[in-house]
Structure 1
């Protein structure tokens, strides 16, 4: 059938939508037999249908709650990718199981209360996305999806993870964010047991990416191992510590802990040689004093929206650091020792309590952006002592005369100075 499609193109004949569907079918006789019925369904369907023959992909958006997916779609056995988002779907017919070659199934923002059982028969499925549904439970039959690599179930109502998960041996990317009932205790299990059960299952998987934002997580059991995890997203939970045992011999590159309950910087994260990005925005950390260790590959560190008053870090600890975000704290003293080895390119200190920035800049040879807006700056060091590439400086001051030396600094690419009481938000 694909040869027939190519012949039409070579003859400069534009294939009809029906012709293109036939190309993906292996049951021509059945399609010919019911052609009139199929055509009638297609013509009356209140839907947007986009078909990509060369990628064996179809995208359907149902525009009415009363509409169902046209039956001819289920004859397109050659399909590898099926997408139907925002389509009011709450079930799939048995005929959906004919699409045995599907590798990618995307059903985001529908009305499913469970993963339809017919999906578990799609043994070639590699990626399943069902974000923003109302799924309450996951059947243990999910274990039949042996080829599954990516599973996204964000923004549902899942309260329990079945043991069948531990048979998903190829799963690499799992997202369960915004299932806020996942760790709520009930009459059958305690809060602690819910945490232990969940992470015992996670221990059996070989994940590289794990997204657990906003799920009511209060702690991570000591027996959990990151193993081959490269990215771990734990934003908007109730965590206040990270156990050292979890981090032993891991390959973590990125960890996100924004909007949790950390009162102290989790220093043990810096012991991970592979770590490249740490975000701890919107916690309640009051002081930073980092020295006596080394995090050789850390590039990105943000601690915006905390309560930090004093910030001290030895640049030798983070020799690869390029971006440091400290906006919206209470910082009065900022010290970064051994700056001559610093790779820092962007430094964000907006909305703090810094009044003097004198002799703090020497040695930042790679600095390209310095944001000091919404401080009480009255003195600043000579910018000619820093970046050899030129720098963008952002300031908000009460009196321009106090920093008039800036206008003649040779290596400033751009000066952005505001004397207004309020300026646009630039927190990064």
Structure 2
């Protein structure tokens, strides 16, 4: 009897020790061709038991579980993706992440203020790290020394911008690899005081997001950039030479900044640009037809832009010289601008614009207010000068007629009254007598 009890006890212990996430009915486990995907999101007791990971697990989702710390080791030779986002994690103990195959780690929306130096020591194949919306405010509390294969890092919504004025993301700072290809520093209180902050990554960095910061100027841009987002910064001008080395740039977002004008040659060096966003620039009133350095575009080789948006700016008119450029762009968004519908923008009716983007309307004159520009009759596009000319022509004609008539009367008066004494002086005083 005692022997049977011992065997039963051993069996129970073994079952507890071998309990996996998939044994819990609240976890969803999907068998994929590439491995096993386990979703235990919104399962608050998920780490209460001593779960183990199956041998073929590739994805583990532990998000939204109100976890405050990770203390028990997560051990797997096959796990590729670990999602710990949207918890209350304040600490990840050393030697907790024993995941040599891990490539994606999401720690966003937690309460992390620091990460121990050796936290990443056993995930040195990591390629993507998301630290969005934590409590980091100083670089002394984090180090990426072990992440030599990291390709993408997201630091959004952390107050680390001031630290970048005196520290480096790379050597001598966070030890971030110089071969990183994507960095996102959205809303981190970054200024442009340290213009060389990304200089060490100029040969490899391809994607850079710096939106919603306090940058009043451009920084030195890495040479190999393909994607750049500087939206929602108090930038007032686009220097002509800022893109001189970024000839590979394909996507440029300059939404909601403080520029008043897009000057000539602003995008001259961007020979690979195919997507340009200039939305919600409420101060933007002028767009030079020489922004690309030329107004005559012969074919698509001269201009790669497929998508241009000027929506929600303060443009009232565009130079007709831009017609050639607009005809080469597949998708142009001109909505929500205060267009003055006169003869200067009549040419916009000739541009082929997708149906969903054709709802750009007249702001003035009053008789055309809120009319869709493509629905206005071409004869209604009248400039103020033409109106004045049309209205004043009869008046001018009458005025000229009156002036000429007055001049004729005066001349007659002069001839009659001024010429009379002269005639009298020419007449003889006595008539000659007849013999």
Q: TM-score, normalised by structure 1?
A: 0.70
Matches of 1:111 and 1:300, distance apart in 2:
38
Where 1:133 maps in the other structure, the secondary structure is: coil
Equivalent residue, structure 2, for 1:60? 40
Alignment of 1:124-273 (within 5 A): 124-144=101-121, 145-161=123-139, 164-179=143-158, 181-184=159-162, 192-194=165-167, 201=174, 204-219=177-192, 220-222=194-196, 224-225=198-199, 226-244=202-220, 246-247=221-222, 250-271=223-244, 272-273=246-247
Structure 1 position 69, deviation (Å)? 4.8
Counterpart of 1:349 in structure 2 is 334
SS, match of residue 340 in structure 1: helix
1:83 aligns with 2:61: yes
**Equivalent in the alignment of 2:401:** none
Q: Distance in 2 between matches of 1:165 and 1:227?
A: 19
Q: Distance in 2 between matches of 1:202 and 1:285?
A: 36
| Deviates further, 362-371 or 319-328 | 362-371
Residue 253 of structure 1: how far off its partner (Å): 1.3
Q: Which moved more, 1:219-228 or 1:120-129?
A: 219-228
Select the residue among 314, 319, 332 that pairs with 2:290. 314
Say whether the 8 Å CA contact 1:154–1:176 is kept in structure 2: yes
* CA separation of 1:270 and 1:406: change in aligned 2, threshold 3 A: farther
Pair 1:195–1:350, CA change in 2 (3 A): farther
Q: Please, which of 230, 253, 260 is the counterpart of residue 286 of structure 1?
A: 260
Please identify which structure carries the higher strand content: 1
* TM-fit CA distance, 1:239: 0.8
User: Does structure 2 conserve the Cα–Cα contact (< 8 Å) formed by 1:208 and 1:230?
Assistant: yes
Secondary structure of 2:118 counterpart: helix
Q: CA offsets, 1:181-233, max 9 Å, x none? A: 22356xxxxx7324678995477431211111011111243253232222111
Determine the C-alpha separation between the residues in 1 that align with 2:371 and 2:172.
Answer: 50
Rounded Cα–Cα distance in structure 1 between residues aligned with 2:176 and 2:157: 21
Q: Within 2, Cα distance between the matches of 1:68 and 1:345?
A: 52
Residue 335 of structure 1: how far off its partner (Å):
2.5
CA-CA distance at 1:270 after TM superposition: 3.6
How far does residue 148 in structure 1 lie from its aligned partner after superposition?
0.9
Q: Distance in 2 between matches of 1:354 and 1:333?
A: 6
Equivalent of 1:376 in 364, 373, 377: 364
Q: Over alpha carbons, which structure has the higher Rg?
A: 2
Deviation at 1:36, TM superposition (A): 5.1
Distance, in Å, in 2 between the alignment partners of 1:339 and 1:74 is 65
Alpha carbons of 1:38 and 1:340: their partners in 2 closer, same or farther (altered >3 Å)? same
Tell me the CA shift for residue 330 of structure 1: 2.2
Does the 8 Å contact 1:150/1:173 carry over to 2? Answer: yes
**Deviation sequence 1:291-316 (CA, Å, 0-9, x none):** 28342121121222220121113375
* Counterpart check, 1:303 vs 2:283: no
Pair 1:106-2:83 in alignment: yes
| Secondary structure at the counterpart of residue 34 of structure 1 | helix
Q: Is the 8 A contact 1:314 1:336 kept in 2?
A: no
Q: Assess if the C-alpha contact under 8 Å between 1:264 and 1:285 holds in 2.
A: yes
- Alignment coverage as a number of residue pairs: 351
Which of residues 45, 52, 66 in structure 2 aligns to 1:74?
52
Structure 2: state its 5+ residue gaps.
1-8, 294-301, 381-435
Residues 43, 347 of structure 1: alpha-carbon distance in 2 compared, 3 angstrom cutoff: closer
Q: Render the CA deviation track for 1:375-420: whole Å, top value 9, x for unaligned.
A: 326899xxxxxxxxxxxxxx9329x99923599xxxxxxxxxxxxx
Contact preservation (8 Å) 1:262, 1:285: yes
TM-score normalised per structure 2: 0.69
Q: Which runs of 5+ in 1 are unaligned?
A: 1-29, 186-190, 381-394, 408-428
CA distance in 2, matches of 1:313, 1:148: 46
Following superposition, the deviation at residue 133 of structure 1 comes to 0.8
